[in-house]
Chain A
Amino acid sequence: MSPARKRTVRLVVALSAAVVLASALIYTSFSAASPALSPSQLVRQAQPGRSYQLTGTVAHGSVHHAGNTLDFSVADRAGGTTIPVAYTGTVPDPFREGREVIVTVDKQHGRFVGERDSLITKCPSKYKTAPAGEKQNY
């Protein structure tokens, strides 16, 4: 095989490998992703065995510590549906009632269980332009 032909073959093989790997990546990302839903959407769409990103505000009066589990309810930003969540893991510093949170949950035996260490609290809205460069607990 001439050197030029060898080079072309190599290029084709390399590109094909890249395409295959990229496709595998893209395909798995869709199945591995958790859709972001509000409480009202989650109530309608939740299926057991799939994980979802529940976004909303922590409902007032709903926060209880029970041993190592944190129980709280997530409400729609505009009010309305609330969903109780049982969560274990790191609780971010800014977490409190009225704050916006994102927590990855799945439906187990009719209850929503928070994935370990998946609770994120958004910056408190009292700072008009939220502070930069900060990481909050996961």
Chain B
Amino acid sequence: MAVLGRICLLLALVICVYGIGASLYGARTGRVEFSDSGRRAVYALAIVLTAAFAVLELAFLRNDFAFNTVADTSSRTTPTFYRAAAVWSSQEGSLLLWAWLLSLWSSLALFLVRKRMRDVAAYATAILLGFGAFFITLMIFYATPFATSSPAPAEGVGLDPLLRFPTMMIHPPMLYSGYTLCTIPLAFAMGALIARRVDADWIRATRRFAFAAWLFLGVGILLGARWSYAELGWGGYWAWDAVENASLMPWLTATAFLHSLMIQEKRGMLKVWNVSLVLATGTLAIMGTFLVRSGVLNSIHAFGGATLGVPFVLLIGVLIAGSIYLVVSRREMLRSEHRLDSLLSRESIFLANNVVLVALCFVIFWGTYFPLISEALTGTEASVGPPWFDRYTVPLALALVLLSGIGPVIAWRRATVANARRNFLAPLLSALVTLVVLVWAGVSQKPFALAMFCCAAFVLGAVGQEFVRGALARRAIAGEAPPVALLALVRRNRRRYGGYIVHIGIAVLFVGVAASSSFQHAVEQRLTPGSSAHVGAYTLRYVRPTATVAPSNDAAHTGSTLSLGAVVDVSKHGHHVATLRPSQGFYDSGEPAQGTVGHLIGGQAVSHISMSGSLTRDVWTAIAPDISAPALARIVTVGNRTLPADEAVVALGFLARTYLKNPPPAQFHFIVSPMVMWIWLGGLIVFGGGLIAIWPAPSAVRRRVALRSRARSARGLARA
């Protein structure tokens, strides 16, 4: 089977080389059949890589430990669900996932434009296949998923228990989809520049691809934050870690692009800016992929394999050099057709939004790559921590939210000053009311959070006003009932009102971030059963210990051998609020040197946190039980001495019983964070709004508009 996998990779590489050649030949000579053949090479690549991925998946599901990667990351005791996900937990498996997703998304994109942009698409095909060839070459020569050992080991190492969470299934494929989708607009931008065709047709196609990239990347990032918060033992959702930042940067440039593209569409301006944004997004996505795998920065997403650093640096160098060359050599074609009519226009607000987003990206870029920069400049590797990031991103985030409220109030092209002044009244009023209420409630000790809340109120006021005015306007024309008018309004102006919904979502999300970071109460305390800790207004009492011996009681199906935990009662002002059950799971280390009993619990320990969430606050707990307490350690030592391997499981029962009878004090970590749920809700609203904005209007509507506009144009001409 591994042979089939290796053949697939070789075949894939040949397909890539052929496709590049055919597309380029077709583009240069205008011979359409070769361009088409090049496009179909991408389809063929998708077929072959699907086969390769299937081979690897099957190997994992069937526990075929002859495959090195299966032996390294899976085991017979790893639950099936996680065995399937273990495919992408290793360097080589994730490379295959990346290449496979690239081929799938590229096939879809090229299929959708197969009847248009023939010359641009041909060059784009060549570039996308170039990326494919790069990753496949890495797999063939540096980190192959199909390496085998003979004889095959009897048992594998197992999937790291820290990864045995359901989100593990979704987060990498979503994030990789986001990354690979970023390369598609890059390929089309390069193709458009090479073919000298950066025009309205390119805008229409690229917008869809850029939006898809924005959506998947955003969802991937949010899922990562949610995973970190809800499943891992540190209780935070964002740490300004290098890899988190690497995924955020292309998302920021993609957001900027989606806005400034509208300016290019309307005024023929900012062409250089826009292609640069697209090229930057794709390059940042590749850099993000590189960061995770090269170990070049100290990050908690440490992938091994420093050997991959050099090829990636070369690729990024080629991308940057190529981009600069293309933009400079085509600058005549990228001249602006018009200028900004007025500073008081939605176009100029979009420009400001772009500046803020790019500034954010620059700050994050500088902070993330600072260890490399400082090493190059001063010889010592130094890094900046979250306080530095917060210092610069918080004001920028405030500016961003504020702008997202100003934009909806200003007209396109040239706003009327008097109207604009009047339109700001309602949003300013909501901000002011919020300010007064919050200051009275005592929030002023956290000025940045207060500022964010007021900005969010401003946004909600501005957008709310837009919806109300729009619905009223529709009522005046079509006489519909208010709810119907509202729906019709959104349906007929999806881009505008979908965008407004996205802005609401962003405001909600930042309110959640501000509240949960500024007003958090966290306590670390050692507790014995019966004692309590006070966190903010809440009292958390350690009621009694829990101990379960898996796998029969392993509710989360993670394959843990022993799980020790606690029942915690949460109350506020004497009223019971929730009951939480945090625990820590112990896993088999597979190392006989630790003893027959010792190895059963000697593997990675994983926190299973317990949390009670609501719209107003989350109460979060984690426990670190003391497994090395004398009473328990004694059982392990005796068991190691007296029990043979196949009977060692009995000792687990003893451990559990002893823990329940005489629990040693356990270390608890309690966090009460207000409004964390607003972050996830905000995210959902953002993506829902985005989908509404990009959803194509039914062509019937477009046609009606077209005809009506034609008639009115004629009348207008007659008037003139």
A92-B367 CB under 8 A given contacts A123-B302, A132-B94:
no
Q: Does B119 contact A (CB under 8 A)?
A: no
Contact (Cβ within 8 A) B384 A29: yes
Contact indicator per residue, chain A 20-58, by CB within 8 Å of chain B (1) or not (0): 011001101110111111000000000000000101000
Q: Does A91 contact B (CB under 8 A)?
A: yes
Contact (Cβ within 8 A) B380 A131: no
Q: Does B72 contact A (CB under 8 A)?
A: yes
Contact (Cβ within 8 A) A137 B234: yes
Q: Does A111 contact B (CB under 8 A)?
A: no
A131-B90 CB under 8 A given contacts A32-B384, A36-B382, A136-B232:
yes
Q: Does A5 contact B (CB under 8 A)?
A: no
| Chain B min CB distance to A130 (Å) | 5
CA distance A94 to B159 in the complex (A): 14
A35-B388 CB under 8 A given contacts A129-B303, A132-B88:
no
Contact of A104 among B159, B235, B385 (CB under 8 A): B385
CA distance A26 to B388 in the complex (A): 11
A133-B172 CB under 8 A given contacts A68-B526, A120-B300:
yes
The segment from B160-168, B211-219, B407-415 that touches chain A is: B160-168
Contacts of B160 in A (CB 8 A): 123-124, 127, 131, 134
CA distance A53 to B299 in the complex (A): 13
Contact (Cβ within 8 A) B605 A93: yes
Contact indicator per residue, chain A 45-80, by CB within 8 Å of chain B (1) or not (0): 000000001010000000001011000000000000
Contact of B228 among A37, A68, A123, A135 (CB under 8 A): A135
Q: Does B233 contact A (CB under 8 A)?
A: yes
CA distance A34 to B637 in the complex (A): 43
Contact of A129 among B90, B228, B236 (CB under 8 A): B90
Q: Does B374 contact A (CB under 8 A)?
A: yes
Q: Does B46 contact A (CB under 8 A)?
A: no
Contacts of A128 in B (CB 8 A): 72, 304
Q: Does B624 contact A (CB under 8 A)?
A: yes
Contact (Cβ within 8 A) B235 A90: yes
Q: Does A118 contact B (CB under 8 A)?
A: yes
Q: Does A102 contact B (CB under 8 A)?
A: yes
CA distance A117 to B624 in the complex (A): 15
User: Which residue from chain A places its CB closest to the CB of B607 in the assembled complex?
Assistant: A93
Contact of A34 among B72, B143, B383 (CB under 8 A): B383
CA distance A34 to B89 in the complex (A): 31
Contact indicator per residue, chain A 90-134, by CB within 8 Å of chain B (1) or not (0): 111110000000101000000000000110101110111111111
Contact indicator per residue, chain B 313-344, by CB within 8 Å of chain A (1) or not (0): 00000000000000000000000000100000
CA distance A37 to B301 in the complex (A): 20
Contact (Cβ within 8 A) B300 A36: no
Contact (Cβ within 8 A) A90 B171: no
CA distance A36 to B92 in the complex (A): 30
Contact of B301 among A88, A102, A133 (CB under 8 A): A133
CA distance A122 to B300 in the complex (A): 6
Contact (Cβ within 8 A) B384 A33: yes
In chain B, positions 28-79 with a C-beta closer than 8 Å to chain A are 69, 72-73
Q: Report the interface size class on chain B.
A: 35 or more
Contacts of A126 in B (CB 8 A): 157
Contact (Cβ within 8 A) B385 A36: no
CA distance A68 to B670 in the complex (A): 13
Contact (Cβ within 8 A) B241 A133: no
Q: Does B206 contact A (CB under 8 A)?
A: no
In chain B, positions 224-269 with a C-beta closer than 8 Å to chain A are 224, 227-228, 232-236, 239, 241
Q: Does B525 contact A (CB under 8 A)?
A: yes
Contact (Cβ within 8 A) A135 B239: yes
CA distance A10 to B333 in the complex (A): 25
CA distance A55 to B359 in the complex (A): 32
Contact (Cβ within 8 A) B382 A35: yes
Contact indicator per residue, chain B 361-380, by CB within 8 Å of chain A (1) or not (0): 01100110011001000101
Q: Does B444 contact A (CB under 8 A)?
A: no
| Chain A min CB distance to B354 (Å) | 12
A124-B305 CB under 8 A given contacts A89-B524, A129-B91:
no
Contact (Cβ within 8 A) A32 B157: no
Q: Does B616 contact A (CB under 8 A)?
A: no
Contact (Cβ within 8 A) A118 B526: no
A29-B370 CB under 8 A given contacts A93-B604, A124-B604:
yes
Contact (Cβ within 8 A) A133 B89: yes
Q: Does B381 contact A (CB under 8 A)?
A: yes
Contact (Cβ within 8 A) A29 B388: yes
A68-B524 CB under 8 A given contacts A29-B384, A34-B385, A93-B605:
yes
Contact (Cβ within 8 A) B162 A134: yes
A90-B157 CB under 8 A given contacts A35-B382, A68-B526:
no
Contact (Cβ within 8 A) B163 A53: no
Contact (Cβ within 8 A) A30 B89: no
CA distance A18 to B224 in the complex (A): 32
User: Which residue from chain B places its CB closest to the CB of A100 in the assembled complex?
Assistant: B302
Contact (Cβ within 8 A) B162 A53: no
A134-B172 CB under 8 A given contacts A88-B524, A92-B233, A118-B385:
no
Contact (Cβ within 8 A) B381 A35: yes
CA distance A136 to B177 in the complex (A): 24
Q: Does B669 contact A (CB under 8 A)?
A: yes
> Which 8 pairs, one residue from A and one from B, show the smallest C-beta to C-beta distance?
A33-B382, A137-B234, A35-B382, A131-B160, A35-B380, A129-B91, A129-B304, A36-B381
27 A-B residue pairings within 8 Å (CB atoms)? A14-B355, A25-B362, A25-B363, A28-B388, A32-B384, A32-B387, A33-B374, A36-B383, A67-B526, A68-B526, A88-B524, A90-B234, A92-B233, A93-B232, A93-B233, A93-B607, A94-B162, A118-B385, A122-B302, A126-B157, A127-B157, A129-B69, A129-B91, A129-B303, A132-B292, A133-B163, A133-B171
List residues of B whose CB falls within 8 A of some A CB.
69, 72-73, 88-92, 94, 143, 157, 159-160, 162-163, 168, 171-172, 175, 224, 227-228, 232-236, 239, 241, 292, 298, 300-305, 339, 355, 359, 362-363, 366-367, 370-371, 374, 378, 380-385, 387-388, 391-392, 524-526, 584, 604-607, 624, 626, 667, 669
List residues of A whose CB falls within 8 A of some B CB.
7, 14, 18, 21-22, 25-26, 28-30, 32-37, 53, 55, 65, 67-68, 88-94, 102, 104, 117-118, 120, 122-124, 126-138
Known A65-B526, A65-B667, A132-B303; 7 more pairs at CB < 8 Å? A29-B367, A33-B382, A36-B381, A53-B382, A67-B526, A131-B90, A136-B232
